[in-house]
Chain A
Amino acid sequence: MAKHGAARDDRRPNVGELRTVRGKSDGVTMSARADALDRLIHERLRLGIVSALAVNDSLSFSDLKKLMKTTDGNLSVHARKLEEAEYITCTKSFEGRMPKTEYRLTPSGRRALERYLDHMEAIIRATRER
């Protein structure tokens, strides 16, 4: 059950939800905006991963770990969630004898980040207009 709950929590917003929020600039409530949030990248570490990859062609697992100041386990769990959502891709290779894991942002991941940025800006704009 707990697993099911977690999966629901991390769901991607459907297009309809986002259109509803964007379509009504005045009438829409802030809670509706919050509901339509992409919860998958709303989580801090995942948002950090996506943001870091947005300004780099690729980043290795160790680069991301240093950047996010997190543990191996935590990073791999969150990276796996982004990978499952096809927001990032993961390539495993060997550099000499050392295994190397590299992450890249997919076009869908970049769009998700752009949507998320639009969303945050919309929330701030709506608050200022009120």
Chain B
Amino acid sequence: MASVRPLHRVPPTEPPALHARAMDNLRFIRDTMEAAGAFTAVSGWGMVAVGVIATVAATIASAQHSVLRSIFVWMAAAVLAPCVMMWAIVRKARRAHVPLLSGPGRKFVLSFSPPMFVGALLTIVLYRAGLVAAIPGMWLLLYGTAVVAGGAFSVRIVPVMGICFMLAGTLAIFTPTSWNDWIMAIAFGGLHIAFGVFIARRHGG
């Protein structure tokens, strides 16, 4: 009996789509993780350090004889504190092997930056207009706005902290100018330290 030969030999290869589907599945997993993940690299200990810087700044600022001089003290702290915070965030992200600027991290930065930029511009505007006394309240309000906006992509406690800053800003705007240093000390110092300790204990540093 003659052997049966197939007309077309079936190639022993797998469907060519398998490799592409595997790539697509990996992409899907990565995209889902990015969409679902929170920016967990917000450093609690970094916040505590910022709080300490703010407390020192508040002490120095309260010893100044003019509002303008105390504003300059706060501005110096406003330059130093973000540097310390960035260093702490990078350190925490590296330790946790979390990418800094992909997914939630990128969204955090994109949401956090605009109010901070507006705050810097308004500082110049208010200074030129001679409304120096309004600067602390505006700083607190816009910093709070930035934290609430960025915090939407981070752990739940971060936007809560932002709301507290906004409340402090509201208080600073409607209270006498002489209270400003105290409110700034309690907000930038106390809130950062309190929330920082909570985040550090609850979210790994």
| B29→A47 contact, CB < 8 A | yes
Q: Give chain A residues whose Cβ lies under 8 Å from the Cβ of B14.
A: 29-31, 34
Given contacts A120-B23, A123-B22, 7 further A-B contacts (CB under 8 A): A44-B28, A51-B33, A54-B33, A56-B36, A56-B38, A120-B26, A124-B22
Q: Does B114 contact A (CB under 8 A)?
A: no
Task: Identify B26's interface contact among A29, A30, A34, A117, CB under 8 A.
Answer: A117
Q: Does A52 contact B (CB under 8 A)?
A: yes
Task: Identify A67's interface contact among B19, B26, B35, B38, CB under 8 A.
Answer: B35
| A127→B36 contact, CB < 8 A | no
Given contacts A56-B37, A56-B38, contact A51 B18 (CB under 8 A): no
| B36→A55 contact, CB < 8 A | yes
- Chain B, interface residues (CB within 8 Å), range: 10 to 19
A78 CA to B26 CA, complexed, in Å: 20
Task: Report which B residues bind A (CB closer than 8 A).
Answer: 12-14, 18-19, 22-23, 25-26, 28-29, 32-33, 35-38
| A51→B36 contact, CB < 8 A | yes
Shortest Cβ distance from B202 into chain A, in angstroms? 11
Q: Does A121 contact B (CB under 8 A)?
A: yes
Shortest Cβ distance from A83 into chain B, in angstroms? 18
| B33→A124 contact, CB < 8 A | no
| A47→B18 contact, CB < 8 A | no
A64 CA to B19 CA, complexed, in Å: 28
- Chain A, interface residues (CB within 8 Å), range: 20 to 34
Q: Give chain B residues whose Cβ lies under 8 Å from the Cβ of A120.
A: 22-23, 25-26
Q: Give chain A residues whose Cβ lies under 8 Å from the Cβ of B23.
A: 120, 124
A127 CA to B22 CA, complexed, in Å: 10
Q: Give chain A residues whose Cβ lies under 8 Å from the Cβ of B25.
A: 42, 47, 120
Shortest Cβ distance from A18 into chain B, in angstroms? 16
Q: Which of B13, B19, B23, B28 has the most CB of A within 10 A?
A: B19
Please list 8 pairs of residues, one from A and one from B, whose beta carbons are closer than 8 Å in the complex, sorted by A's number.
A47-B28, A47-B32, A48-B28, A55-B36, A56-B38, A67-B32, A120-B23, A120-B26
Task: Identify B32's interface contact among A34, A42, A48, A123, CB under 8 A.
Answer: A48
Q: Which of B18, B23, B29 has the most CB of A within 10 A?
A: B29
Q: Does A59 contact B (CB under 8 A)?
A: yes
A55 CA to B33 CA, complexed, in Å: 6
Q: Give chain A residues whose Cβ lies under 8 Å from the Cβ of B13.
A: 30
Task: Identify A52's interface contact among B18, B22, B26, B32, CB under 8 A.
Answer: B32
Q: Give chain A residues whose Cβ lies under 8 Å from the Cβ of B36.
A: 51-53, 55-56, 59, 67
Q: Which of A44, A51, A53 has the most CB of B within 10 A?
A: A51
Q: Give chain B residues whose Cβ lies under 8 Å from the Cβ of A121.
A: 22, 26
Shortest Cβ distance from B152 into chain A, in angstroms? 13
A30 CA to B19 CA, complexed, in Å: 9
A130 CA to B63 CA, complexed, in Å: 74
Shortest Cβ distance from B104 into chain A, in angstroms? 9
A105 CA to B22 CA, complexed, in Å: 23
A127 CA to B28 CA, complexed, in Å: 20
Nearest chain A residue, comparing its CB with the CB of B35: A67
Nearest chain A residue, comparing its CB with the CB of B36: A52
